[in-house]
Amino acid sequence: MDLDRFNRLLLESAGVGLALADAGSLAVRFTNPRFLEWFPGAQDAPLDELLAGIDVDRMRTRLDGGQAYRTDLELKVNRRSLTVAVDVTRHADEGADLLVVECQNITKLKELEYMVESYSKMVERQNRDLRKEKERVEKLLLNIMPRSIYEEWKEFGVTAPQRFDQAAVLMLDFVNSTEMDIAADPPALVAELNDIFTSFDRIVEQFGGDRLKTIGDAYMAVCGVPDPGGDDARNIARIAVRLIRYLQRRNASQANQWIARIGINVGPVVGSIIGVQKYVYDIFGPGVGLASRLEALSGPMEITLAEDLYDQIRDDVVVTERGEVELKGFGRKRVYTLDGMTDLDEGWLR
């Protein structure tokens, strides 16, 4: 086979579309079959007519500057969308000034590119959804355990129970809620309790405490668990005063009277996540038990504390002493009713 014939065969069967055009007039001088398949048209049509969509000015500027002109063209061949990469270079020698047009079918590349784009968008979206879901779960978990415990649990999968010698504990319950006519309007009652506990949470947070849990209409908060704060004893007393003040104000303008009693105490407790399937961060121990006994000693809208806490905050509180009382499990203790705090705005209860 001679070289000419070989070259012609190569041009005719190549997967690349090839054309030669006059650099000045853009008249097409030669096309191979592939080029005509993609850009059907008259044999002597100018290049810019065959290659609809090319930017002739830009092409001329680049070619005049000795650079190649490249562009992608979208075509429709036999119902199929094709993307063809067009590459035009200028070759001037032996008196001829010609443009060589080389076209490659990059449809598969484009298709893959679109596919990757589409898939990565899906994955991004999924990641966003997962992140949102994770935040939601985190928020839920932070409702049942303090953040530092949650961080520990997240990192290690377990949390070790911790002992706190000076946990400040507040127990509150409502003395009259059992008498309220819940049959009359249960949703309204729950809405009111929600409203009250939400306000309680804000007050507790304001003084660096944590609401641990509510059981029915009972409310329990701590200061210094799991992170001792230095002023936990005073803060628990401040919280107690503010809770009562809040209820006083609320009762003044509402039909339902919510009458609470509170016990506050400092003492040793153990804090831990309790439960395997249904877990909750909880504390227990003498510090909690005593707060609970003191709450039971409180009259309506009263705050009771014992000598353990009083001795720590005596300089900042005004109390009514109630003498020694036998407290089951704790022996005889001096107990006090808290009347107000000297270092707190609106810190007086009577």
Q: Tell me how crowded residue 152 is: count the other CB atoms within 10 A of its CB.
A: 18
117/135 with CB nearer another protein: 117
At residue 133, φ and ψ (nearest 5 deg) are: -60, -40
CB of 99 to another protein, least distance (A): 28
Longest dimension (CA), the chain: 124
| Closest of 155, 340, 176, 165 to residue 266, by C-alpha | 165
Retrieve residue 208's tokens. 């660096």
Least distance to another protein, CB of residue 129, Å: 9
Distance CA 32, CA 10 (A): 10
CB of 104 to another protein, least distance (A): 17
Which residues of this protein are in contact with another protein, per CB under 8 A?
A: 74, 79-81, 83, 108, 110-112, 114-119, 122-123, 125-126
**Nearest CA to 337 among 294, 304, 301?**
304
Nearest approach, Cβ of residue 77 and another protein (Å) = 11
Alpha-carbon gap, residue 132 to 125, rounded angstroms: 11
Measure the CA–CA gap between 15 and 103, rounded to whole angstroms. 9
d(CA 188, CA 46): 83
Shortest distance, CB of residue 116 to another protein, whole angstroms?
8
Dig out the tokens for 12 from the structure. 């005719």
Nearer to another protein, 75 or 101 (CB): 75
Taking the least distance from each CB to another protein, the nearer of 113 and 151 is: 113
CB nearer to another protein: pick between 96 and 123: 123
Rank residues 114 and 284 by Cβ distance to another protein and give the closer one. Answer: 114
Q: How far is the CB of 307 from another protein (least distance, A)?
A: 56
CA–CA dist 220, 225 (Å, integer): 12
At closest approach, how far in Å is the CB of 264 from another protein? 47
**50 bridge partner residues:** none
Nearer to another protein, 122 or 191 (CB): 122
Query: What residues contact residue 138 under an 8 Å CB cut-off, 6+ apart?
Result: 150
Residue closer to another protein, measured from CB, 119 or 348: 119
